[in-house]
Every structure is written in structure tokens, then in C-alpha cells.
Amino acid sequence: MSLFDVKEHAHKRLNILTGEWVLVSPHRTKRPWQGKVEAAATAQRPQYDANCYLCPGNKRADGSVNPAYTEPYAFNNDFAALLGDTPDGEYALGGLLQAKSQKGICRVICFSPRHDLTLPQMQVEEIEKVVALWQKEFTTLAANPWIKYIQIFENKGDIMGCSNPHPHGQIWSLNDVPAELVKETEQQKKYFEKFGKSLLSDYLQLELQQQERIVCANEHFVALVPFWAVWPYETMIISRRQVRHVAEFTKEENIGLAQLLQSLTVRYDNLFSTSFPYSAGIHQMPVNDGDHPEWHWHMHFYPPLLRSATVKKFMVGYEMLASPQRDITPEAAAEKLKALSEVHYTK
Ligand SMILES: [Zn+2]
Ligand SMILES: [Zn+2]
């Protein structure tokens, strides 16, 4: 028997943010693979689409009309999953059937007036305006004392269930802290109480020393494949400074974040020469709920693609029933992403 080596042998890795584990099977990548890398047919979209409900000047589903906006633009979701006037209340039966009312405000953010662009195709100055709008929305929503959490996210690509290719994201804010955030708050709190430092500051230090999973970085932010990544090319952006929420960033940090968002998402598109689908979102402190000195802002990218523009990873079988699992190691994924050009493949 050889000595245990995480690069060779099956093992599980701890997600320090959730306390959950992922199964890694590096030996399986040695299987001969006969699939081919298919180039995706990327249809060129027009700059303006008369039928798009997000384009400037167009009519939306609820009958309202978008202004002729020229910069990132936010509005209330016409098909909101949460509504502001839901009555407070609880339902409980025998301690076994439990429910609690959830109310919220759901916003849509158009990243650009241009129908044909995506984040990686936008200029840094344009992405910076998206970051500034995230900050403004965060501050406005947090001013409602009943709102406890503000989830900023983007679903990109139709395989992620995104119904409209116009570049946009969403913000769901609600009167409760959602499950993933309860876990992450708990884990960060435990660490902060024990060491007096943020969990992600120490984790980032370790990653910067090891240099095995870093994809790209600048003065203010680092993008890396987390040690415990589940999705083949999952990444995280972590702020070098411990900041609790997006509105705490300085102007310089906004520029840094815009730059890093661009270099990371361009790499993603270049990986399989396709508009790379993902679900991405910001994790930050709950609001109207104390100081949360343990919280360290970060952003997750969960892309489903595995080997090409059309071959995706499925979370089925063992993963649905037991635990998430991956073959390609986070180290190998980081190396691939790191090696890619920062110039978009269409240019
Ligand atoms: Zn559009
Ligand atoms: Zn997180």
C-alpha cells in the first residue's frame, strides 16, 4: 500500500463554509475518454431585440415600459417569487409539519442596455457600474428593517434555466436568512470566536501560500477553485480585505472587483469556446441582525460544464442520495483555468 496522496487516492474534502463534505475520485480521470470537444454554435444576437422584455424602451409582462436606460438598470421582478405584502405567520402541526411565511422584494438588474453582451464581453468600466448598482440596491433594500438577507445572483445560459439571454441578474431579499447562509454564518462564527479572525482571511492566506488553486488575482480580490469545490470548474472570488457586504467596498475595490469579474468570466468563456453557463452569486452578512464581525464577503460561481460546451456534469445517483462527488481535482481545474487567455475568444 502506498501513502495516502490527495492527488492520487479517493478521499473526501471538507467545505469549511458549510461543514459538508465532497467525495473526490482523482484516479477516475485516468479513464480513457473518447468524447470529443464540440465547438458550440454561438448565434450572434442583435444589439436590440424588439421582443425582449429587458431591452430599453420595451414593454414588460406587467404592461410597464422600460425606460431608455443607458447604464445598469434595476426594477421589481414582474414574476417575483416573494412578495412584500405576504402576511407574517407560522404553521405547525404536532411539531412535524412546520411552515413559516416568507415575504420579500425581488429585483431584476439589467447589466447593460445591449442585448448581445454578457459580463465577459463588457468593459471593466461597465462592469464597475453593475457593482455600484449592487451596492445601491443593497443599501436601499437593507433600509427595510424586516429584511434579513439580500441575495444577489445571476443565472447565465439556458441550461441554467435562464429564460432571457439579455445580460441580467437578480436580487432576492427576504424576511429570513436562507439555509446556505445559516450554515455559512454558523461556520464563520465558530472560527471567529475561536481565533478572532475571519475564516476566509486565514483560508485565503493558505491558498496564496500554496498557489495550487489560484486562477487569477489583483490587488483587492482573488479568484480560486476552492479546495472543496463540487462543480468541475467551480470558483470563488474572495476579497483580500475582510469586508462584510458589498456596500462596504471602496471605489478602488469596485474597480478591482470589476476587473476580476472580467478576467474570470473571460477565462470561463475561453475554456470551451462558448458562452459559459453558470449560477453565480454574492454571499455576505445578514442585515438588520447585528454586526456579524465574522462575515467575510465572497462570491461563488457554480458552472455545470464538464468537458465541452455540451457535456455537463449531472448531480445524480450517489450525489443525490449520498454526497456530491467529482473526478477532476480542484487543482487540475485551477491549472486549466489559470492557463487560459484573458482575451475573449470571439475577439
Ligand atoms: Zn434584450
Ligand atoms: Zn458562500
Q: What is the pLDDT of residues 267-302, one digit of tens each?
A: 999 999 999 999 999 999 999 999 999 999 999 999
Residue 6 lies in a domain: no
Q: Is the pLDDT of residue 206 over 90?
A: yes
Q: Are 82 and 104 in contact (CB under 8 A)?
A: yes
Residue 254 lies in a domain: yes
User: Residue 254 — φ and ψ, nearest 5°?
Assistant: -60, -45
Residues 54-73 have pLDDT tens digits of 999 999 988 999 999 999 99
Mean pLDDT confidence for 25-53: 74
- Examine the pLDDT at 92 and tell me if it is beyond 90: yes
Number of compact structural domains in the chain: 1
Distance 124 CA to ligand 1 centre (A): 20
Confidence check: pLDDT of 32 > 80: no
CATH number at residue 16: 3.30.428.10
Q: Catalytic: 296? A: no
Alpha-carbon distance values, 203 to 79, 296, 323 (Å): 39, 11, 23
More confident residue, 39 or 221: 221
Instruction: Report the separation in Å between the CA atom of 260 and the middle of ligand 2, taken as the mean of its atom positions.
Output: 18
The answer to whether position 347 is within a domain reads no
pLDDT of 318 over the 90 cut: yes
Cell numbers found for residue 128:
464597475
What count of other Cβ atoms lies within 10 Å of the Cβ of residue 206?
10
Which ligand is closest in space to the CA of residue 20?
2
- The number of the ligand nearest the C-alpha atom of 113 reads 1
Rounded-to-integer distance, Cα 347 and Cα 329, Å = 30
One-letter amino acid of 241 = R
The C-alpha torsion from 159 through 163 and 164 to 167, rounded to 10°, is: -60
pLDDT digits (tens, 9 = 90+) for 148-199: 999 999 999 988 887 799 999 999 999 999 999 999 999 999 999 999 999 9
34 confidence band (pLDDT: 50, 70, 90): low
- Write out the H or E segment, with its range, that includes residue 11: strand 11-15
Is 320 within a domain? yes
Rounded to whole angstroms, the Cα distance separating 105 from 85 reads 10
Residue 1 lies in a domain: no
Whether 82 is covered by a domain: the verdict is yes
Type of residue found at 260: L
Kindly name the residue from 168, 220, 245, 298 that is annotated as catalytic: 168
Give the cell for residue 27: 484516479
The structure's pTM equals 0.95
| Domain that includes residue 212, residue range | 11-339
- Could you give the residue ranges of the DSSP H alpha helices within the chain? 124-142, 179-195, 199-210, 251-271, 318-321, 330-339
